[in-house]
Amino acid sequence: MRGKRGAMGIEWAATIMVAAVLAVTLLARRLRIADPILLIVLGVVLAIIPSLPTVIVEPDLLLLLVLPPLLFWHAFIVSPREIKATAPAVTLLAIVLVALTALTVGCVLKLLLDLPWPVAIAIGAVLAPTDPIAFLTVARRLGVSPRLVGLLDGENLLNDFTALVIYGVAVEAALTDTWSAPHALSRFVLTAFAGAAIGLVVGFMISTVNRRITTPSLPPIVTLAGAYLAFLPAEALHVSAVLAAGVAGRTAGARSPIVDRPEGRIVGYGFWNTWTFLLTAVLFVLVGLQLPVALVGLTDIAMTAMICLAVIGTVVTLRLVFSLGIGLVPAPIARRMTVARRRWPWAESLIVGWSGMRGAFSLVMALILPLDFPYRDLAIVITFSVILATLIGQGLTLPILIRRLPIERDEVSPRERIRARQEAREAALDRLDEISEEGGISEEQEAHLRSGYRNHDGEDAARAHRAELEMIAAERRAAIDMRRNGRISDDILREIESDLDMRAVLLHEHLTDPGRG
C-alpha cells in the first residue's frame, strides 16, 4: 500500500486508522452491530478527509501479507468432527454452491454488460465465498446446535479454497486470453496435490519445532512464519498456495494438543486472535477506502447501481433456493447428508440460506485483483455493495430468525462438557493412584490432591506439584483421546485444554520459583 495526497504522512494516517478501528469496534459491540458494517463506513469517511493520504492497495503485497495468516489460523482452529458430521452437506455448500454462484453471477454480468466470460466468472468467484463470523457470533450466544455451527464453519473453510481456485483460473484466463477445460482441470488437480503436500510438510515442521521450544513467546512466531513458509514457496512454484497454508494450519492444529507446551499455547491463542482480528478489521476499512477511488473510475453510476442490485439479488436468492432445496432431498439421501435419521429441517435450511453474508475473503479477492484486470473498479464496487447489503440485511435480521424458528438447540454440548471433564478427572485420579503406589508422594499430599486437586498450602511443594502435573497430563491425554474418538468437539477440547494449560503454567512457576507457593 502506498499513500499520496494530503499533508499528513502515511505513518500518522496508519496510526489514526488503527486507533479508529479499535474505537469503531468497541462502538459496534456496544450497539450490537456487526463490526464490518461500521468498519467499512469508517473507511469511506477516512477516504473523503482531504488531509489524509489516498491509500492505493498493492495487490501482490496484500496477497502476501494477509492471506497466509488468515487461511492458516482458520484451518488451525476448525473442528473436523463437526465438518465430518455434515460432510456431504458441507460439500454441496462449499463446492457445488460456490461453483454455481460464480457461474450464475458470471452469467448475470455477461447478460447485463457483455463482459468476457473469464472476467465475469472471476467477479462471480470473488462473491462466492461466505463469511460466517456474524452467524457464529450470534449462534453461539443464542445456543444454536453444534451440528449447524459445524456445517457453516466447515463450509466457510472449504468455500474459500474452492472460490480461490476458480478465481485463480479465471483471472489467469482474463489476463492471457487463453483457457481450455482440460488445461484448467489438469492444472487444478496438479496444483491442489502439490499445495497440499507442501502444507503437510510445513505443518509437521511447525509441530516438530514447537515441541522443542521452551520459551513461551516463540511458538506464535514459529506458527506465523510457518503460514508464510507454506504459502510463499507454493506461490513461487505456481501451485495452490491457498491449500498449502490451509493444510499446514490443519496439520499443526491437529497436533497442537499433543506436542505444544501449555505456556506456548496460552501465548499463541492470544497472539493469533489479536493478529487475525486486526487483519480482518483493516481489510474492511481498506475496502471502504477503495470505494471512492473505484467510483471515480466508473462513468455510469445509475447503471452500476442497477448491476449491484441485480448481483445482490442473485447471490441472496441462489443461496436461499439451494439451501431450502437441501431440505427437499428424499429421506434416504438426506440420511447420508446429516447425522440425524431424517431430512434436513426446513427451519435449519432457512437459517443456512440466510447466513450467506459476504466478508473478509471476498474483500481480499477483490482487492488483490491485478491493477490491469479489466473492470477492476466495477468488481470492487460490486463487492462492496454485496458485503454491505448482506451484512446489514441478513446480519441484522439473523438473530430474529434464530430466536423464532423451531431449530435444534445446543443441548448436547453441556452434557458433553460435563462428561468430558468427569472422564478427564477420573484419568487424573487414576494417575494419582499410580503415583501413590510408586511412593512418589506422602499420604497427606495424596489426600490434599484427591480432595481439592490442588495443594494450596504449598507443603512439600515440589513433590506435590510434580504429582499434580502428571495428573494434568493424564487429564489432557484423556481429553485428546475423547476428541480423537469423536466423543467431544474441538471447542470442548480447547476449553478443557485452556484450563489445564493455566493450571500447568502456575505449577511450573511454583516449581521454578518456590517462593511463589
Which tens digit of pLDDT belongs to each residue from 127-172?
999 987 666 666 766 667 777 877 887 787 788 888 988 898 888 8
Question: Cell for 476?
Answer: 489432557
Taking 60 as the threshold, does the pLDDT of residue 334 lie above it? no
Do residues 338 and 436 share a domain? Answer: no
In a domain, 158, yes or no: yes
Task: Identify the H or E element spanning 4.
Answer: strand 2-4
* pLDDT tens digits for range 294-308: 677 667 788 888 999
Q: What is the pLDDT of residue 426?
A: 74
Taking 80 as the threshold, does the pLDDT of residue 344 lie above it? no
Helix (H, G, I), strand (E, B) or coil at 3: strand
The domain boundary, picked from 361, 377, 404, lies at 404
DSSP 347-388: HHHHHHHT-----HHHHHHHHTS-TTSTTHHHHHHHHHHHHH
Helix (H, G, I), strand (E, B) or coil at 103: helix
Q: What is the C-alpha separation between 284 and 291, in angstroms, rounded?
A: 11
**Nearest alpha-carbon partner for 262 in 512, 494, 25:** 494
Looking at the DSSP bridge assignments, the partners of residue 3 are 55
Do residues 364 and 487 share a domain? Answer: no
Contact 323, 337 (CB under 8 A): no
Domain of 201: which CATH number?
1.20.1530.20
Do residues 389 and 442 share a domain? Answer: no
In a domain, 28, yes or no: no
Question: Cell for 477?
Answer: 491425554
Sign of the Cα pseudo-torsion (153, 154, 155, 160, in order): positive
Do residues 431 and 348 share a domain? Answer: no
φ and ψ of 55, to 5 deg: -95, 120
The backbone region for 5, taken as left when phi is positive above 0, alpha when psi lies in -120 to 50, beta otherwise, is left
The domain boundary, picked from 384, 404, 424, lies at 404
Q: What is the C-alpha separation between 291 and 287, in angstroms, rounded?
A: 6
In a domain, 398, yes or no: yes
Contact 326, 337 (CB under 8 A): yes
Question: Cell for 173?
Answer: 484466463
**Nearest alpha-carbon partner for 139 in 417, 392, 393, 355:** 355
Taking 80 as the threshold, does the pLDDT of residue 233 lie above it? yes
Q: Which of 112-126, 345-359, 362-376, 489-503 has the least mean pLDDT?
A: 489-503
Helix (H, G, I), strand (E, B) or coil at 56: strand
Taking 90 as the threshold, does the pLDDT of residue 386 lie above it? yes
Q: How many domains, the chain?
A: 2
Mean pLDDT value of segment 239-263: 86
Residue 454 pLDDT class (50, 70, 90 cuts)? very low
In a domain, 43, yes or no: no
Do residues 101 and 145 share a domain? Answer: yes
- Number of H-type helices and E-type strands within the chain: 23, 2
Mean pLDDT value of segment 338-360: 75
Task: Identify the H or E element spanning 55.
Answer: strand 54-56
In a domain, 377, yes or no: yes
Taking 50 as the threshold, does the pLDDT of residue 457 lie above it? no
The domain boundary, picked from 385, 404, 423, lies at 404
Question: Cell for 4?
Answer: 499520496
Taking 50 as the threshold, does the pLDDT of residue 330 lie above it? yes
Do residues 373 and 299 share a domain? Answer: yes
Do residues 394 and 502 share a domain? Answer: no
* pLDDT tens digits for range 502-516: 777 777 666 665 544
Q: What is the pLDDT of residue 455?
A: 43
Q: What is the pLDDT of residue 199?
A: 95
| Block residue for cell numbers 514457496 | 233
Taking 50 as the threshold, does the pLDDT of residue 431 lie above it? yes
Mean pLDDT value of segment 262-268: 83
In a domain, 278, yes or no: yes
Taking 50 as the threshold, does the pLDDT of residue 456 lie above it? no
| Block residue for cell numbers 504429582 | 467
Mean pLDDT value of segment 239-244: 86
Taking 50 as the threshold, does the pLDDT of residue 321 lie above it? yes
Burial class of 270 by CB neighbour count within 10 A (0 to 12, 13 to 18, 19+): exposed
Q: Out of 215-219, 316-320, 468-472, 497-501, give the one with best mean pLDDT.
A: 316-320
Do residues 449 and 366 share a domain? Answer: no
Mean pLDDT value of segment 377-390: 89
What percentage of residues in the chain have a pLDDT greater than 90? Answer: 19
* Separation of first and last alpha carbons in the chain: 52
Q: Out of 104-108, 131-135, 326-330, 336-340, give the one with best mean pLDDT.
A: 104-108
Do residues 278 and 427 share a domain? Answer: no
* pLDDT tens digits for range 54-107: 666 676 777 788 889 988 988 888 777 666 767 778 888 989 999 999 999 999
Mean pLDDT value of segment 386-412: 80
Helix (H, G, I), strand (E, B) or coil at 144: strand
Q: Which residues contact 377 (CB under 8 A, 6 or more apart)?
A: 293, 294, 295, 296, 297, 298
Q: Which residues in 250-407 belong to E strands, given as ranges? A: none
* pLDDT tens digits for range 22-49: 888 888 878 877 777 788 788 888 777 7
* pLDDT tens digits for range 417-430: 666 666 766 777 77
Taking 50 as the threshold, does the pLDDT of residue 118 lie above it? yes
Q: What is the C-alpha separation between 501 and 396, in angstroms, rounded?
A: 37
Half-sphere exposure (Cβ direction) of 97: Cα atoms closer than 13 Å:
32
Question: pTM of the entire structure?
Answer: 0.73
Contact 292, 47 (CB under 8 A): yes
Residue type present at position 477: R
Q: What is the pLDDT of residue 341?
A: 42
| Block residue for cell numbers 467510483 | 295
Q: For residue 454, what are the domain limits?
A: 413-516
SS3 annotation, 196-207: HHHHHHHHHHHH
Do residues 315 and 392 share a domain? Answer: yes
Q: What is the C-alpha separation between 342 and 422, in angstroms, rounded?
A: 32
In a domain, 41, yes or no: no
Do residues 358 and 383 share a domain? Answer: yes
Per-residue exposure over 324-349, b if at least 16 CB sit within 10 Å of its own CB, e if not: eebbebeeeebeebbeeeebbbbbbb
Do residues 511 and 384 share a domain? Answer: no
Taking 90 as the threshold, does the pLDDT of residue 226 lie above it? yes
Q: What is the pLDDT of residue 98?
A: 95
What would you report as the CA-atom Rg of the chain, rounded to the nearest whole angstrom?
Answer: 25
